[in-house]
Amino acid sequence: MPGRHCAGLDDALEVFRDDPLLFRPGTQFRYSTYDWVLVSAVVEAAAGEPYLAFMNREVLARAGMERTVPDEADGVADRVSFYRPRAALRTDLGLEEESPADYSCFAGSGAFLSTPSDLVRFGSAMLKPGLLNAETIALLQTPLRLESGASTGYALGWKVESVQLGGAPAKLVGHTGSSAGGTTSFMTFPDLGLVIAVTSNVSFATGVAPFGLKVAEAFARPAGEPGR
């Protein structure tokens, strides 16, 4: 997304409304920031109110996510300083402070600031009915299939995969990502009732996801095993 300010989702849609499709829908898969701006606009239209107002009332407040707020261009109280690798996307070569970024055009693709604790609250709300009903959670977290029958491995906002935890395969439903000055690894393990969120205020922090898996491994061990 370009470095510009969007007063609303209509402005954000203008950024890409005339871009051609990369391929016919259903034939290939590619993650796109634009997709989630479009989804945000659909939510806003269906709700009949601004997207952020709907999210604050129906998602953040209901999930108890009191430390999750829109990333306003004019600043947010208690916001951490953000950093990026000085060279070659390698944190071991030193860091420099990230320039301020305006995320007003990003909507549901990345317009929020949050904390690991709030992400765990959101993940916990996805482990059982409450915020959403069971059928909706299952639909959101079921990987889509292409016309060929091949699985994309990606659901509606969730990556679904299998990892080894405690010597056994475990279903992981979550997402990782890096923005201007931050990296996040968000993992839920529905069959274990476990949610792990790890964040860093450094872009391209490659150790975030492996650390999250180590934490999950510790919680997945049977009681009495070393490290439990």
In a domain, 1, yes or no: no
For residue 41, give the DSSP letter. H
Neighbours of 94 (CB within 10 A): 10
Is residue 226 assigned to a domain?
Answer: no
Strand ranges in 47-158 using DSSP code E only, listed in sequence order: 69-70, 83-87, 90-97, 112-113
Which helix (H) or strand (E) is 175 found in, with range? strand 168-179
pLDDT digits (tens, 9 = 90+) for 43-101: 999 999 999 999 999 999 999 999 999 887 566 778 889 999 998 888 888 999 998 88
pTM of the model: 0.89
User: Counting beta carbons within 10 angstroms of the beta carbon of residue 26, is it exposed (0 to 12), middle (13 to 18) or buried (19 or more)?
Assistant: exposed
Number of domains in the chain: 1
Short-list 122, 116, 52, 113, CA closest to 78: 113
Whether residue 183 is contained in a domain is answered as yes
Which CATH number does the domain housing residue 46 bear?
3.40.710.10
- Look at residue 4 and tell me if it is in a domain: no
The domain of 35 spans: 9-220
- Flag whether 125 is in a domain: yes
Least confidently predicted of 26-35, 84-93, 141-150: 84-93
Among 200, 195, 173, smallest CA distance to 122 is for 195
pLDDT over 70 for what percent of the chain? 95
Task: Give the mean model confidence (pLDDT) for residues 4-8.
Answer: 87
Structural domain contains residue 228:
no
Q: Judge whether 111 lies within some domain.
A: yes
Q: Is residue 42 part of a domain?
A: yes
